[in-house]
Amino acid sequence: MDLRKIVDNLKPTFSKGGKLSFLASTFDAFETFLFVPNTTTAHGAHIRDCNDMKRTMIVVVLALVPAFLFGCYNTGLQVNLTGWTAFFYGLVRILPMLATSYIVGLAIEFAFAQSRGHEVNEGFLVSGFIIPLIMPISTPLWMVALGTAFAVVFGKEVFGGTGMNVFNPAILARAFVFFAYTPQMSGETVWFSTWKMMGAQDAVTGATALEQLSSNGAMQWSALDAFLGFIPGSFGETSTLCILIGGAILLIAGIASWKTMLSVFVGGIAMAYFLGDVCGMFSYPAYYHLLVGGFAFGAVFMATDPVTSAQTSTGKYIVGFMTGALAIFIRLCNPAYPEGMMLSILFMNALAPLVDYFVVQANINRRLARAKK
Amino acid sequence: MSKIIKLSKGLDIRLEGEAQKSITDVALASQYAVSPLDFENLVPKMLVKVGDKVKAGSSLFFDKNCPAIVFPSPVSGTVSAVNRGEKRRILSVVIDADQDQQYESFDMVDPKVASRDDIVCLLLKSGLWTLLVQRPYGVLAQPADMPKAIFVSAFDTAPLAPCYNFIMESEKEALQKGFQVLSRLTSGKVHLGYNAKCEAPSFEGVELHAFQGKHPAGNVGVQIHHICPISKGEKVWTMNYQDVAILGRFFLTGKVDLHRTIALAGSSVKNPSYYRIISGIKTDAVLSGQLKEDHVRVISGDVLTGRKLQYSDFIGLKANMLTVIPEGDTYEFMGWAMPRFKKFSVSRAYFSWLCPKKKYTLDTNLNGGVRPFVVTGLYEKYLPMDIYPMHLLKAIIAEDIDKMESLGIYEVIEEDIALCEFVDPSKIEMQQILRNGINALIKEGE
């Protein structure tokens, strides 16, 4: 069976003038998934680098896998399961959320691509994977669906699609769910799975590490546990170790900017040190803040989003540092909610173009000054 | 000895099929042609018609924008065809060469003592004026202008590019004469950028600048940016190194002798090496028996910026190389998920970074679909200038003339951002976009 022949036979039906030509973008998405197109260079450089958007996005997905796998295990662990049972419990628990986010998001993406006559962008492969990873595990599926739909339509497509968006779609989905359904999305039960299967029991502990730090000034886990990820929290955010493995993949592949990533951590630790050791707002070690909550996940996978973060090198340092610093500032100075990473990233997404504006303006001014000489 | 200008940004794409250092003299071919397509912003108007007899150096057509600029016939013979494309646009003017070559005669002047006007006049008449390129825009130099300076690069860093030190070894005298002529055309200096790894050339009347770095360190535009960048309203001229020798040869011999040495290179060539030709030669005279395969792309120029030719087309009037690489119009199953050991990428999402010495056989496949700008910070690494290429390109797409000016469009032409286009995972046609922007600026200025 020659797959290429099958595709070639189907192609006329979906091409201009064919019966299903209104599905051209969808067909193209599947065709280019199976086969790199035979398009050759028409203008400009006759040869091209073999990297494309598909590969770029798939590497990011790959980098998320360690955090995803650990999330499966930890979800089971938090309801007192162990070993493979814990892992499969978590896997079964997350798959519906993952499916929901992909089905809803991709359906909207395909529909928009179709109506615009564009090719389908690969960006949502990453967003769709991140969305369930940053949701509390007991988020109802309809909320995941609604959050995803809101993020894709109002976060991305209204701006023109991938590459044009102001806000990171995944963090927008999380923010939408958080603000639209605050009662359901806060409190102590939301972080644990309530599905009684495979022998799962009710969670013993009530609050996340961050909530404990915020209210008691201490947490019941050791820093090592927090680093390895054996703590409650959103599905993929708990293991700093697995997130750093993902971060290493992104940095080695050269896909995420080390400038942003490093700056976020530096900004975070600097602010935590300032508020803790200098201002005395808390007495536990400042570095705890990098280990708990969504800080590491945000720093590695979301603050580094090339589209919504700063687009200039200098801007990346500034926006990265401010993202980290602001996240800790919100954590410690906002009495209502212990986490600050989500709001910090959103805020800096909005501010990044302004930072870029000044960096680019500096370049323009250099050029003007030179002309006057 | 001037200080070395070191450029850390850039990329040397290592390709199979580098020209071996031997030069073959190509006998006079049956046909030659001049193509207006090699010149930007040129509106050709014919001066000859099919059947006319011409000599080497006779004018074939002129530029409607500046009628004094005429284009020379590379050989003597009979005009046999004026090939036209869409909207009767002239694609090439073909000359059937005579066995016995005759040269147009000119009233020569001594560049040392003659007035600048006389030199300009002679260059215009001989058609060799067309070797001068104006920056900004990369268009034909205008005779009415006085350039701030003239820039020449003595080396080419593009993939598989000819080694000028090798091919110009016997042209020292002509080069010196050429530089003498150039120095009379500007109120400023003649700047010569050379490869810091090689011996500094010694010519009178030029200011030397040593450059060290990967491609595009040899691009004259990059060198200008580091020696004396172009601001709005300023004009400088550039000339290719080999063209300087052709210019000098004209003043030494009084003949428009368009002999040049080109590199025949690329992975589809059996014996890549150098050929001594007359510019505009029909490519089959060079290519016959030299191709490894049939389904190839012949490029007049290098793989990043050259012009696509047919097998029996004519090489560009100013081309210094002919590259032949395989066409890539094939499908690749799940290519984006494959290891692709035989393909090259600057991204470490593939593995070519593990073997930096390896040479690659790259085809013309786009390797993906066209997407909007997503990746940031990548393009800057391949443009050794203080310019934000993505912001500039976005300004062009938005047709914002003021922004294009302030972001440095005067300092770049296609060849300077060709590497950005090569590495772009979004497969955006940056060179085309830049040219559109430049054309918009030229139109605005009219």
DSSP annotation string for B96-156 = EEPSS--B-------TTTS-HHHHHHHHHHHTGGGG-EEETTTEEPPTT---S-EEEES--
Of the given ranges (A59-63, A113-117, B28-32), which has the lowest mean pLDDT?
Answer: A113-117
A43 and A61 co-located in one domain: no
Residues B280 and B408 in one domain: no
Q: What is the largest CA-CA distance in chain A?
A: 78
Q: Are residues B198 and B50 in the same domain?
A: yes
Single-letter code of the amino acid located at B79: V
Measured from the Cβ of residue A65, the count of other Cβ atoms closer than 10 Å reads 15
Angle subtended by helix axes B116-126 and B172-185, to nearest 10: 120
Q: Which of A104, A125, A137 is nearest to A56 (CA)?
A: A125
Q: Please indicate, yes or no, if residue B354 is contained in any of the structural domains.
A: no
Total of domains in chain B: 3
Task: Kindly state whether residues B162 and B281 are assigned to the same domain.
Answer: no
Whether B69 and B175 map to the same domain: the answer is yes
Least CB–CB distance from B333: residue in A34, A257, A309: A34
SS3 B419: helix
Considering the domain boundaries, does residue B311 fall inside one?
yes
Which residues 22-51 in chain A show a CB within 8 A of chain B? 32-51
Kindly state whether residue A91 falls inside one of the protein's structural domains: yes
Q: Are residues B238 and B263 in the same domain?
A: no
Q: Tokens 């945000």 sit at which residue?
A: A298
Q: Is A51 within 8 Å of B303 when comparing Cβ atoms?
A: no
Q: Residue B93: name the closest of B27, B48, B140, B30 by CA.
A: B48
* Two tokens, residue B58: 């006779």
For residues A53 and A124, the answer to whether their CB atoms sit within 8 Å is: no
Same domain, A17 and A118: no
Task: Domain of residue A31: give its range.
Answer: 1-48
C-beta atoms of B329 and A38 within 8 A? yes
Helices (H), A117-168: 123-133, 141-150
Distance (Å, whole) CA B415 – CA B434: 10
- Residue finishing a domain among A16, A32, A48: A48
Q: Beta strand pairing status for B236-238 and B150-153?
A: parallel
Matching residue, tokens 């990346």: A316
Question: Where are the extended beta strands (E) located within chain A?
Answer: 35-36
pLDDT one digit per residue (tens) for chain B, 446 residues: 568 999 999 999 999 999 999 999 999 999 999 999 999 999 999 999 999 999 999 999 999 999 999 999 999 999 999 999 999 999 999 999 999 999 999 999 999 999 999 999 999 999 999 999 999 999 999 999 999 999 999 999 999 999 999 999 999 999 999 999 999 999 999 999 999 999 999 999 999 999 999 999 999 999 999 999 999 889 999 999 999 999 999 999 999 999 999 999 999 999 999 999 999 999 999 999 999 999 999 999 999 999 999 878 999 999 999 999 999 998 888 888 888 888 899 888 888 888 888 999 999 999 988 899 999 889 999 999 999 999 999 999 999 999 999 999 999 999 999 999 999 999 999 999 999 999 999 998 87
Burial letters B6-22, b for 16+ CB under 10 A, else e: ebebbbebbbbbbbeee
Residues A282 and A213 sit within 8 Å (Cβ to Cβ): yes
| B306 and B405 share one domain | no
**Residue A56 corresponds to which amino acid?**
T
Distance CA B93, CA B49 (A): 9
Its domain, for residue B391, covers: 366-445
Q: Where residue B279 sits, what CATH number does that domain have?
A: 3.10.20.600
Q: Is the pTM of this model over 0.80?
A: yes
* Residue B352 within a domain: no
Q: What pLDDT is attached to residue B47?
A: 96
Those residues whose C-beta lies under 8 Å from the C-beta of residue B157, and which sit 6 or more positions away, are: B10, B12, B213, B214, B215, B216, B217, B218, B219
SS3 B68: strand
Q: Which of B211, B227, B253 is the last residue of a domain?
A: B253
Whether residues B317 and B438 fall in one domain:
no
> Based on the number of CB atoms within 10 Å of its own CB, is B121 exposed (0-12), middle (13-18) or buried (19 or more)?
middle
Amino acid at B256: V
By the 8 A CB rule, do B165 and B261 touch? no
Q: How confident is the model at residue A14 (pLDDT cuts 50, 70, 90)?
A: confident
Q: Please, what is the average pLDDT of chain A?
A: 90
Instruction: Verify that A27 and A157 share a domain, yes or no.
Output: no
| Cα A367 off chain centre by | 37
Alpha-carbon dihedral sign for residues A364, A370, A371, B4:
negative
- Cα A173 to Cα A192: distance, rounded to the nearest angstrom: 20
Structure tokens at B419: 């590497």
Higher-pLDDT residue of A162, B325: B325
Taking the C-alpha atoms of residue B383 and residue B154, their distance in angstroms, rounded to an integer, is 20
Contact yes or no for B303 and A259 at CB 8 A: no
Please tell me whether residues A170 and A292 are part of one structural domain.
yes
Taking the C-alpha atoms of residue B307 and residue B322, their distance in angstroms, rounded to an integer, is 10
DSSP annotation of B364 reads: S
Q: Tell me if chain A has a CB within 8 Å of the CB of B229.
A: yes
Q: Which of B253, B269, B293 is the last residue of a domain?
A: B253
d(C-alpha A243, C-alpha A237), whole Å: 8
Task: Kindly state whether residue B24 falls inside one of the protein's structural domains.
Answer: yes
Instruction: State what percent of residues in chain A have pLDDT above 70.
Output: 97
pLDDT at B354: 85
Q: What is the pLDDT of residue B296?
A: 95
Nearest-CA neighbor of A237 among A135, A345, A331? A135
Residue A310's pLDDT is what? 94
Contact (CB, 8 A) for B34 and B48: no
Q: Indicate if B225 and B169 belong to the same structural domain.
A: yes
What's the CA gap between B58 and A143, in Å, rounded? 78
Tell the burial category of B215 from Cβ atoms under 10 Å away from its Cβ (0-12, 13-18, 19+). buried
3-class DSSP state of A169: helix
**In degrees rounded to 5, what are phi and psi of residue B334?**
45, 40
Question: Does any domain span residue B346?
Answer: no
How far apart (Å, rounded) are the C-alpha atoms in residues B269 and B160? 12
d(CA B197, CA B334): 43
**Using CA atoms, how far apart are residues A4 and B228, in angstroms rounded to an integer?**
55
Number of domains in chain A: 2
* B-contacting residues in A 184-223 (Cβ below 8 Å): none
pLDDT for A204 equals: 59
Q: Which of A:311-370 have CB within 8 Å of B? A: 311-313, 316, 360, 363-364, 366-368, 370
Angle at A196 between CA A190 and CA A202, to 5 degrees: 55
pLDDT at residue A68 tops 80: yes
- Could you tell me if B106 and B245 lie in one domain? yes
Same domain, A20 and A84: no
Instruction: Please tell me the distance in Å from B80's CA to the nearest CA on chain A.
Output: 29
Q: Check whether A89 has a pLDDT greater than 60.
A: yes
Residues of B in contact with A313 (CB under 8 A): 377, 380
Distance CA A108, CA A125 (A): 13
Mean pLDDT value of segment A32-48 = 89
| Pair of tokens at residue B142 | 């205008």
Domain closes at, from A48, A68, A87? A48
Contact, B232 vs A371, CB < 8 A? yes
Listed by number, the residues of chain B in 371-390 with a beta carbon closer than 8 Å to a beta carbon of chain A are: 371-377, 380, 386-388, 390
Q: Which of residues 93-152 of B touch A (CB under 8 A)?
A: none
Greatest extent of chain B over all pairs of C-alpha atoms, in Å: 68
Residue B305 φ then ψ, to 5° = -130, -5
Q: Which helix (H) or strand (E) holds A247?
A: helix A240-252
Q: B212 and B280 share a domain? A: no
Which of A48, A63, A84 is the last residue in one of the domains? Answer: A48
* A202 and A218 both lie in a single domain: yes
In a domain, A291, yes or no: yes
| Residue at A369 is within a domain | no
What pLDDT is attached to residue A1?
58
Whether residue A89 contacts residue A76, with contact meaning beta carbons closer than 8 Å, is answered with yes
pLDDT band at A205; cut points 50, 70, 90: low
Give yes or no: residues A148 and A240 share one domain: yes
Residue A276 has pLDDT above 80, yes or no: yes
Residue A30 and residue A147 in one domain: no
- Nearby residues of A115 by Cβ (< 8 Å), 6 or more positions away: none
Within a domain: residue A368? no
Q: For residue B404, count CB atoms less than 10 angstroms from its CB and return exposed for 0-12, middle for 13-18, buried for 19 or more.
A: buried
Q: pLDDT tens digits, residue range A247-257? A: 999 999 989 99
Is A1 in CB contact (< 8 Å) with chain B? no
Return the structure tokens found at B274: 């150098």
Q: Report the candidate in A114, A104, A100 with the shortest Cα–Cα distance to residue A161.
A: A114
What span, in angstroms and rounded, lies between the C-alpha atoms of A236 and A11?
Answer: 40
Q: Where are the alpha helices (DSSP H) in B186-271?
A: 220-227, 241-253
The whole-angstrom separation of Cα A311 and Cα A326 is: 20
A14 phi/psi in degrees, rounded to 5: -95, -5
Helix (H) or strand (E) holding B296: strand B296-300
Which of B334, B347, B378, B397 would best serve as a mutation to test chain A binding (most A beta carbons within 10 A)?
B347
Q: Are residues A136 and A282 in the same domain?
A: yes
Q: Which positions in chain A touch B374 (Cβ < 8 Å)?
A: 53, 56, 123, 162-163, 306-307
Q: How confident is the model at residue A219 (pLDDT cuts 50, 70, 90)?
A: confident
Residue numbers in A near B372 (CB within 8 A): 121, 160-164
Residue in A41, A262, A357 to test binding to B, most B beta-carbons within 10 Å:
A41
B133/B178 same-domain check: yes
B430 neighbors B421 (Cβ within 8 angstroms): yes
Instruction: Identify whether A367 is part of a domain.
Output: no
Gap between the terminal Cα atoms of chain A: 70
Query: Same domain, yes or no, for B226 and B289?
Result: no
* H-helix segments, B302-413: 389-397, 401-406
Q: Is residue A371 part of a domain?
A: no
Give yes or no: residues A160 and A294 share one domain.
Answer: yes
pLDDT at A79: 84
Start-to-end CA distance of chain B, whole Å, equals 43
pLDDT digits (tens, 9 = 90+) for A278-289: 888 888 899 999
Burial of A323 (0-12, 13-18, 19+ CB in 10 A): buried
Spatial separation of the C-alpha atoms in residues B246 and B201, rounded to whole Å: 18
Nearest to A282 by CA among A328, A347, A227, A337: A328
Determine the pLDDT at residue B402: 94
CA distance B386 to B368: 29
* Boundary (domain end) residue, out of B306, B326, B346: B326
> A67 and A1, same structural domain?
no
A38 and A99 assigned to the same domain: no
Which SS3 state, helix, strand or coil, does residue B18 take? coil
Residue of B nearest to A359 (CA): B388
Distance CA B230, CA B224 (A): 8
Q: Which ranges of B316-446 does DSSP label H, i.e. alpha helix? A: 389-397, 401-406, 414-423, 430-445
Type of residue numbered A180 = A
How do residues A168-194 score in pLDDT, each as one tens digit? 999 999 999 999 988 777 766 677 777
Q: Are A331 and A338 in contact (CB under 8 A)?
A: yes
User: B427: nearest CA in chain A?
Assistant: A52
